[in-house]
Structure 1
Amino acid sequence: MAFMKSAILVCVTAVLTVYLPQLWTKTRPIITAGTVQPGFEPVAKLFRENFEQGVEFPTGGSAFSVYYKGSKVVDIWGGYADSEAGRPWKEDTMSVFFSTTKGMAALCMLVLVDKGLLDLDKTVASYWPEFAQNGKDNVTVCMLLNHQAGLSYTSENITLAHLEDQDALGEVLARSPPAWEPGTAHGYHSMTFGLYASQLLRRADPKHRTLGQFFKEEIAQPFDIDFHIGLPLESFHRVARITGDAGNMVLALLYGLTTGPVNRHVLWAMVSRETDISKVIESSGDTMESSIHLRPETLALEQPSAFGVGTARAVAKVYGILANGGRTNQGQRLLSNDVIKKITSEAEADGSLDRTVGTETVLSLGYFVGEFQGSPQFGHPGGGSVQGLTDTRRQLGISYLSSYHPLFSLTDDPRFMSLQEATYKCIDNLEP
């Protein structure tokens, strides 16, 4: 009986935690704004309906952007950047993109490849000799970008203090042994991918820049991309306050046990000894504390795996350029089409489970590869169901950004999925 009372109390607490904040803010007016090009009006209509019908959450805000054939065709936003303060989401509001940051980190590495400064078939140690310690001497650049290097977690905990000292961080990463024989398996390097990429970039780049500096100078500034890996302190006032239920483990378990197989699989991975997720969390130290994304001094640090901050417009523009053959409509080149094609042409779905999360994943040159409605896509999702992806066949670049983190997995959030489906339907109506 005592157990039953405790179970009921937990469930009631969970329900109140989810719904009370929504009831509290229900009286706030619904705000949506932005622009769409002719033919994409249904996307804007659905975006507002999602707020009106409770698909979007009133305690947060969101933005959705689409580039098609090199042009911006959808740029919409709504809700609140800070619901407690009543601060609406504006055109220049940014939020944390979490793991979608890794897509920008991968782009930096491919720009180096395109410039002939980095060879995918060479070993990482040929650029970074100290990396060869503890069985990593044969790890190639391609293995590292494909999450096959066995470096999904480190033997020493990574802390915020390490992010402040790139040399000390490099020493820790170089010492860490692989968790499996490199090249024999793959496992999502959720918190380490960007760190290793940045250290490698520092050695391959003639100017020895960090990845954040490289992104700023080679991508953000030349292409007017409002995305930051290392957010300037003076820009923090534009950042939306992260809210939601994804950090509530009780709610996550209750949701996961009553929904689709993907969530149940992920929950299994979290408690199974056959995956490395617990070691990933432990070795990430205080860099995974939820409160760090509310502090400007933390977002100012470079963690190219998870601390990227920007607008949906910025990420959609990047993927829109990639979908446009690597060039803007004005002829400015970001990446060669040959390198872009490698992402999907060299992707291998071997049916094996990801060592980190326990599900099947296809990772190629830093990107997740999949498809939607028969069209191949590549990109990178992030925590809170944020998204950045490209469809080269349809010449689409898409990004969804939200400050509200729900309990949905990365593959079944109705907020993004409904908007993506509406976008594809508009494309189908426009194309003969």
Structure 2
Amino acid sequence: MAFMKSAILVCVTAVLTVYLPQLWTKTRPIITAGTVQPGFEPVAKLFRENFENGVEYPTAGSALSVYYKGSKVVDIWGGYADSEAGRPWKEDTLTVVFSATKGMAALCMAVLVDRGHLDYDKTVASYWPEFAQNGKENVTVRTLLNHQAGLSEISDEDTYALLGDQDALGEFLARYAPEWEPGTAQRYHSWSFGLYASQVLRRADPKHRTLGQFFKEEISQPFGIDFHIGFPLELYHRYPRLSWASAYMWFKEMMSSPIMREFIWQRVKTGELGAIFKPAEFQEFMIPEKLALEQPSAYGVGTARALAKVYGTLANGGATLKGQRLLSEDVMKQFTDQAQVEALGIPDGTPIILNLGFFIDEKAKRFGHPGAGGQHAIADPQHKLGFGYVSSFLSTYTVGRDHRFHPLLEETYKCIEKLEAK
């Protein structure tokens, strides 16, 4: 009986928490703004309709940016950065992108490869001798970036206290014993990917910078990318209040999505089901001091425009229209043309391809990296398109079809088809 009372109380609390704010925020006007180039008006129309029809969550905000052939053609945003305060999402609002940060970390590694300071097929220990402990001596940089090194169970709790001391963090990571024989299996390295990448980069980079420092000095500043791995405290006023999917929304999506059913089942088997319903997990990402730490797996903060500009530059042959080169085409071809990992999947059982730190869409020859709650960053070199989508509402759509983003993606391709048919 006590259990039933507790369960009912939890359910009632969840319903009130989810729906009372919605009733209040519905009195606020729907706000969307931004610009689109001629021919892309249907994308902006659909974006606004998403807010009008409840596809976008009323207590949050989102932004979409698209680069085509090196030029920005879509740059739109809407909703609220803080609905309680009535603060609208603005042109310069930025937010945490969670695992989409890994794509930026992978890019930094690729830049080092391009400059001859790093080789994907050399061992990690050739750059970082202390790494060769507990059976890791033959792990290559490629194996590490392909999530095959057996280091997937390292958590944020294991490493958070060490983020301010790179030497101590490096010692911990070097000592860690693989969970399987490296190179024989693949499992998504949720928290450890960016940390290991940064330790390798510190040693391969002639200036011995951390990954966050390298990104700032070699990518963010020279290319005008409003993205931060180590978020400056003085920019926190541009950060939104985060919202997250309720247990009801997870259940609703589970009933309609085979991918989500597999995700939930995997969490049941591993005893991690409760974690996805804990708001505290996301509230921690509203602490400015946490975001200021360099965690290149998940703490990256930026705009949709920043993501789209990075991936749009890569999709445009690796160079801007002004001739600035971010990455060579030879290195980028390795992302898709030399993908050796065949849909082994991540812990939720979703079939994906991971290669050199990127999610690969082998059929469409696209690459990029999503983030928790529906953050998206994609490069399509065939069509010279770069996409960035961010939202302060963390939905259930980390992988699979996102009801907010993917219709916008498809609408963009329709616009491209019409423009190229003229």
The corresponding residue for 1:363 is 354
> Contact 2:124–2:200 at 8 Å: present in 1 too?
yes
Q: Does the aligned pair in 1 maintain the 2:100–2:298 contact within 8 Å?
A: yes
Local SS of the residue matching 2:231: coil
SS in 1 for 2:404: helix
Quick check: 1:258 aligned with 2:255?
A: yes
Partner of 2:66, secondary structure, is strand
1:337 aligns with 2:323: no
Other-structure match for 1:302: 294
Corresponding residue for residue 284 of structure 1: none
Distance 2:326 2:370 in 1: 21
Change over 3 Å in CA distance of 1:352–1:107 after alignment to 2: closer
Contact kept in structure 2, 1:135 and 1:178, CA below 8 Å: yes
1:132-156 CA-partner distances (Å, limit 9, x unpaired): 1111000000001111111112399
Letter in 2 for 1:171: E
C-alpha separation in 2, matches of 1:253 and 1:317: 32
Q: Is the 8 A contact 1:262 1:409 kept in 2?
A: no
Q: 1:408: which partner in 2?
A: 397
State the Cα distance separating 1:376 from its structure 2 match: 2.3
Do the aligned partners of residues 217 and 357 (structure 1) sit closer, same or farther apart at CA in structure 2, a change above 3 Å counting?
same
Q: In structure 1, what is the Cα distance between the partners aligned to 2:39 and 2:126?
A: 51
Give the aligned residue type for 1:369: I
Alpha-carbon distance in 1 for matches of 2:112, 2:328? 11
**C-alpha contact 1:65 1:399 (8 A) present in aligned 2:** yes
Alignment: residue pair count: 416
Measured in 2, the distance between the counterparts of 1:191 and 1:385 equals: 18
Q: CA deviation at 1:10?
A: 5.1
Letter of the 2:385 counterpart: L
AA aligned to 1:267 is I
The equivalent of 1:313 in structure 2 is 305
Per the alignment, in what secondary structure is the counterpart of residue 397 of structure 1? strand
Match of residue 393, structure 1, among 382, 389, 399 = 382
TM-score by length of 1: 0.91
Give 1:252 deviation, angstroms. Answer: 5.9
Three-state SS of the structure 1 residue aligned to 2:93 is: coil
- The 2-side partners of 1:14 and 1:300 are apart by 31
Structure 2 counterpart of 1:108, which letter?
A: C
Q: Secondary structure at the match of 1:268?
A: helix
Counterpart Cα distance in 2 of 1:388 and 1:156? 23
Write the distance in 1 (CA, Å) between the matches of 2:223 and 2:392. Answer: 25
Query: 2:392, 2:139 → 1: CA distance?
Result: 37
For residues 186-228 of structure 1, give each alpha carbon's deviation from its aligned partner in whole angstroms, at most 9, with x where no partner exists: 1111111000000000000011000000000000000000000
Residues 188 and 357 of structure 1 are in contact (CA less than 8 Å); yes or no, is this contact kept in structure 2?
A: no
For the residues of structure 2 that align with 1:255 and 1:176, how far apart are their CA atoms? 39
The reply on whether 1:346 has 2:343 as its aligned counterpart is no
Could you say if the C-alpha distance between residues 157 and 83 of structure 1 is closer, same or farther in structure 2, counting changes exceeding 3 Å?
closer
Distance (Å, rounded) in 2 between the aligned partners of 1:177 and 1:128 = 16
Shift of residue 405, structure 1, vs aligned partner: 1.1
Match of 2:264 in 1: 267
Determine the C-alpha separation between the residues in 2 that align with 1:178 and 1:278.
21
Tell me how far apart the structure 2 counterparts of residues 141 and 63 of structure 1 sit (CA, whole Å).
Answer: 34
- Matched residues in 2 for 1:61 and 1:146: separation? 33
Equivalent in the alignment of 1:425: 414
Task: Return the letter of the residue paired with 2:257.
Answer: G
Match of 1:76 in 2: 76
Q: Residue in 2 aligned with 1:285?
A: none
Q: Which amino acid aligns with 1:324?
A: N
- CA 1:293 to 1:156, structure 2 compared with 1: closer, same or farther past 3 Å? closer
Instruction: Measure the CA separation in 1 of the matches of 2:136 and 2:338.
Output: 23
Distance in structure 2 (CA, Å) of the matches to 1:43 and 1:155: 39
Aligned-residue offset at 1:122: 0.4
C-alpha distance 252-123 of structure 1, shift in aligned 2 (>3 A) = farther
Task: Give yes or no for contact 2:100–2:371 (8 Å, CA) kept in 1.
Answer: yes
Q: What is the letter of the counterpart of residue 259 of structure 2?
A: V
Q: Which SS does the other structure have where 1:80 is aligned?
A: strand
Which residues of structure 2 form unaligned runs of 5+?
Answer: none
Q: Closer, same or farther in 2 for the Cα pair 1:156/1:10, shift >3 Å?
A: closer
Determine the structure 2 residue equivalent to 1:212: 212
* Cα deviation, residue 346, structure 1: 1.4
Cα distance in 2 for partners of 1:398, 1:312 equals: 8
Q: What displacement does 1:298 show?
A: 1.0
Q: Distance in 2 between matches of 1:163 and 1:3?
A: 40
Q: 1:253 to 1:315 in 2, by over 3 A?
A: closer
Give the drift of 1:412.
2.5
2:327 paired with 1:327: no
- Would the aligned equivalents of 1:81 and 1:88 in 2 still touch at CA under 8 Å? yes
Counterparts in 2 of 1:26-41, with a 5 A limit?
Answer: 26-41=26-41
SS at match of 1:258: helix
- What is the identity, as a one-letter code, of the residue corresponding to 1:361? I
* CA RMSD between the two structures: 2.1
Contact kept? 2:253, 2:260, Cα under 8 Å: yes
Structure 2 Cα separation of the partners of residues 346 and 74 of structure 1:
31
User: What SS does the corresponding residue of 2:225 show, helix, strand or coil?
Assistant: coil
Task: Evaluate the alpha carbon distance shift between residue 342 and residue 6 of structure 1 in structure 2; reply closer, same or farther with a 3 A threshold.
Answer: same
Query: What residue number does 1:173 align with?
Result: 173
Q: State the 1:341 CA deviation.
A: 0.7
Percent identity at matched positions?
Answer: 67
Question: SS at 1:66's partner residue?
Answer: strand
Matches within 5 A, 1:9-88: 11-88=11-88
- Counterpart for residue 222 of structure 1: 222
Aligned residues of 1:148 and 1:187 also touching (Cα < 8 A)? yes
Task: Write the deviation string for residues 379-423 of structure 1: whole angstroms up to 9, x where unpaired.
Answer: 000011010011111110001000011233422221111111111
Distance 2:314 2:138 in 1: 31
Cα distance, 1:3 vs structure 2 = 7.5
Q: TM-score scaled to structure 2, two decimals?
A: 0.93
